[in-house]
Structure 1
Amino acid sequence: MKKRIIIIGVIVLLIAAIGIKLAANKKNIDDKKKPTLTSNVSIPVNTVIVGLLDANNQLVKTGNLVPFKEADIMAISSGKLVSVNFNLGSMVSQGGVVAQVDNRMLQLNLEQARLAKDKSDKDYKRYKTLLEGEAATEVNYQDAKLNSENAGNQIELLQKQMADNNIKSPVSGQVVSKVKEAGEFVNPGTVLGHVVDISQLKVNVLVGEKDAYTLQTGQKVTVTTDIYPDVKFEGKITFISGQGDATHNYQVEILLQNNGQHKLKAGTFVYADFARESQQKLMLIPRSSLVESLKNPFVYVIENGKAVVRKISVGREFGDQIEVLSGLQEKDQVITAGQVNIKEGSLVKGIVAK
């Protein structure tokens, strides 16, 4: 009896201990579920208000040199290449034969066509004589005449096909790409290589609306490059677009000769100086506003007390200022300092620079 009472007491103690442990665990879980109290503190940041400013600068635009002419060397018939007469760097002339497609089958067909032409010509003359002597019908004569003409057309067709097998360069210049070798099969439109003519070079730039109305074709432009820092190249305006893009910029093409002592190459970065003051208003922001590099430019603007990311497109740099081509509007409040402490959606308090 006494032993039974002891066992019951031990069981009761175990149950009590389990109950206490469960209660403690429940309290810990409830404590974890309670929301953490956070303070809605706005982070102070320096800002500027975006606007259009008069930029007192020369009208200088940047661009890359492009070839005066460039074209693909292209096959216009199908067959196996028996020769490719150019290599990378080769100088070729417009209309010069630079590759040859196999002509042997066409040559055999041409010989056969010439034999057929000789026979049809003889038949035509014979039937013409017979018709004059009323020994042949008009139908026989007309058939012989038609056969003679068809044989002549067949010869012209084969000669045209053989001429097409002579692959010619569409422009004069230097071969900068070669993608086919002798022995390979080609079809009409197959590209064998690429030729560029850099005896003259072009620069395509965009100018603002007001500037576009002050420029004229034939106007001289000074072109410079960092490759030859002390050399100035003379160009002239050959084209001004009559239609602007969505941002009211107009394409201007400048042509310059490339036959002097200092040879230029297509793709070179250049500056085009129009030798006059620009009348364009520019949207400028401090260089420090950019969160990342110029390759991936974006800034933070303040909207309803929060930091919002804005992707932008940038142009020229003017000291510690940089031109914004798109992505911002007038009166936007752009953060210029303190970006390291914020992210998208952070509460901020803008301090406008005076």
Structure 2
Amino acid sequence: MKRGIIAVVIIAAALAGIMFILNKNKAKNEEQTAVVAVQNAAVAVRADVADIREVNAQYVANGVFAPKQEVKLAAEAGGRVVKVFVDEGDFVRAGQTLAIVNGDKQTVTVNNAQAVYDNAKSELARFENAYATGGVTQQQVEQARLQLENAKNNLRSAQISASDVNVTASFAGVVNRRAIEPGSYVNAGTEMFEIVNVSTLKLMVNVDEKNIGQVKTGQSVRVESAVLPDQKFNGVVKFIAPKADASLNFPVELEIRNNANNDLKAGMYGTAYFGGEGVVNVLTVPRTAFVGSVSSNQVFVVDNGKAVLKQVVAGRSFGDYIEIISGIEQGTQVVTSGQINLLDGTPIEIIK
């Protein structure tokens, strides 16, 4: 009995000791966890300073040259090609005949239409004479007059179709493609030639919303092509889209006069330089400082170890830097990476 009591006491003491040790370890773990939580409360970010920087005042945009005029000439009447007067690369004048399609069928159609017209004309004269003596009614005369009008329209249509056998250039340009040969048969609508005019070209570029205010219709713009590094061309702004695309860019069309040798070719890449070549001093921040995109006009600034969300007014784009019109001052630290983990007032730790 006495031994049993001693055993119970020993077991109870052992359990009490185990519980004491467990509780002590738990308190220590909780204390360490609290310390780690405090240490990890600050989000690691990178930062830069809003500063006055010397930047190039020009805005640069790229595009592809396209011909001002381009047309694909198709046959307007079916037949066999009799003659082709031009080849690819030839310069053609407006109204110049490029090819002739056999017009025998069209000539027969014209002759038939002419015969029907002459007969309808005679019939109307006969009915009018008969009407004067009471031989026919007014309704019969009107029907004869209607038949003459229909015959006249058919004759005119046949004459137009007969004239379509001559394929002519609608404007001066260069034959970029010839799709026919003498002896080939074409149907109405068959493509025969592609004519392009590269004496004047178009360059379509996109200008973002921050710089579109600098662009005006009629403005002169310096244009260059990497293929012709020693030559510079002058472009004139002909069109500014009244509506931006999904990326908040405005399509702008420039018109460029080619040189005497037409060295600029449609399909080449071109670069347009808007504005002067001088430099300006403006307050800027890195493009990466903006939350989401520049259009958000929001940046996180560093204030007493915390990230504070600020609303700013962004100006012109200068490559990696964006002009700040208002919202923050020179010397303000702005967060440039890690914004995805931040809320207004989040503690931060700046890393190099």
Q: TM-score normalised by the shorter chain: which range applies? A: 0.5 to 0.7
Give the corresponding residue for 1:208: 208
1:164 equivalenced with 2:164 (yes/no): yes
CA contact (8 A) 2:199 2:262 kept: no
CA contact (8 A) 1:55 1:281 kept: no
Give the corresponding residue for 1:100: 100
Give the corresponding residue for 2:68: 68
Looking at structure 1, the residues matched to 192 and 286 of structure 2 have their Cα atoms a distance apart, in angstroms, of 47
CA contact (8 A) 1:221 1:237 kept: yes
- TM-score (ref. length: structure 2): 0.61
The residue correspondences of 1:72-87 to structure 2 (distance < 5 A) are 72-87=72-87
Cα shift at 1:70:
0.9
1:56 equivalenced with 2:83 (yes/no): no
Give the corresponding residue for 1:272: 272
Looking at structure 2, the residues matched to 125 and 283 of structure 1 have their Cα atoms a distance apart, in angstroms, of 87
CA contact (8 A) 1:203 1:253 kept: yes
- Cα deviation code 1:70-123 (max 9, x no counterpart): 111122333332333321012223343323332211211211222222222222
Give the corresponding residue for 1:188: 188
- Cα deviation code 1:32-78 (max 9, x no counterpart): xxxxxxxxxxxxxxxx9699x98933312222221111111122333
Cα shift at 1:197:
0.6
Structure 1 pair 275–261 and aligned structure 2 pair: CA distance change class (3 A): farther
Looking at structure 2, the residues matched to 189 and 332 of structure 1 have their Cα atoms a distance apart, in angstroms, of 61
1:240 equivalenced with 2:245 (yes/no): no
Give the corresponding residue for 1:295: none
- TM-score (ref. length: structure 1): 0.61
1:112 equivalenced with 2:109 (yes/no): no
SS at match of 1:56: strand
Looking at structure 2, the residues matched to 61 and 105 of structure 1 have their Cα atoms a distance apart, in angstroms, of 55
The answer for unaligned runs of 5 or more in structure 2 is 1-44, 289-317, 322-335, 340-349
1:152 equivalenced with 2:187 (yes/no): no
CA contact (8 A) 2:199 2:259 kept: yes
Letter in 2 for 1:175: V
Give the corresponding residue for 1:198: 198
Cα shift at 1:211:
0.4
Letter in 1 for 2:100: Q
SS at match of 2:210: helix
The answer for unaligned runs of 5 or more in structure 1 is 1-47, 285-316, 323-329, 334-351
CA contact (8 A) 2:69 2:196 kept: yes
CA contact (8 A) 2:110 2:158 kept: yes
Looking at structure 2, the residues matched to 59 and 136 of structure 1 have their Cα atoms a distance apart, in angstroms, of 83
Cα shift at 1:166:
2.9
Cα shift at 1:181:
1.7
Looking at structure 1, the residues matched to 177 and 221 of structure 2 have their Cα atoms a distance apart, in angstroms, of 32
Letter in 2 for 1:234: N
Cα shift at 1:238:
0.9
SS at match of 2:244: coil
Structure 1 pair 262–76 and aligned structure 2 pair: CA distance change class (3 A): closer
Looking at structure 1, the residues matched to 128 and 78 of structure 2 have their Cα atoms a distance apart, in angstroms, of 41
> Aligned pairs, how many?
253
Once structures 1 and 2 are overlaid, which stretch shifts more, 77-86 or 110-119? Answer: 77-86
Once structures 1 and 2 are overlaid, which stretch shifts more, 209-218 or 187-196? Answer: 187-196
Looking at structure 2, the residues matched to 105 and 188 of structure 1 have their Cα atoms a distance apart, in angstroms, of 13
Give the corresponding residue for 1:123: 123
Letter in 2 for 1:195: I
CA contact (8 A) 1:128 1:141 kept: yes
Cα shift at 1:139:
4.0
Give the corresponding residue for 2:311: none
Identity %: 29
CA contact (8 A) 1:89 1:176 kept: yes
The residue correspondences of 1:221-240 to structure 2 (distance < 5 A) are 221-240=221-240
Structure 1 pair 140–184 and aligned structure 2 pair: CA distance change class (3 A): same
Looking at structure 2, the residues matched to 332 and 243 of structure 1 have their Cα atoms a distance apart, in angstroms, of 33
Looking at structure 1, the residues matched to 209 and 139 of structure 2 have their Cα atoms a distance apart, in angstroms, of 74
Letter in 1 for 2:134: E
Structure 1 pair 332–208 and aligned structure 2 pair: CA distance change class (3 A): farther
1:142 equivalenced with 2:142 (yes/no): yes
Structure 1 pair 67–250 and aligned structure 2 pair: CA distance change class (3 A): same
Structure 1 vs Structure 2 CA RMSD: 3.7
Give the corresponding residue for 1:257: 257
Looking at structure 1, the residues matched to 285 and 96 of structure 2 have their Cα atoms a distance apart, in angstroms, of 52
Give the corresponding residue for 1:38: none
Letter in 1 for 2:88: L
- Cα deviation code 1:221-256 (max 9, x no counterpart): 111233443332221111111111222111111112
Cα shift at 1:176:
0.9
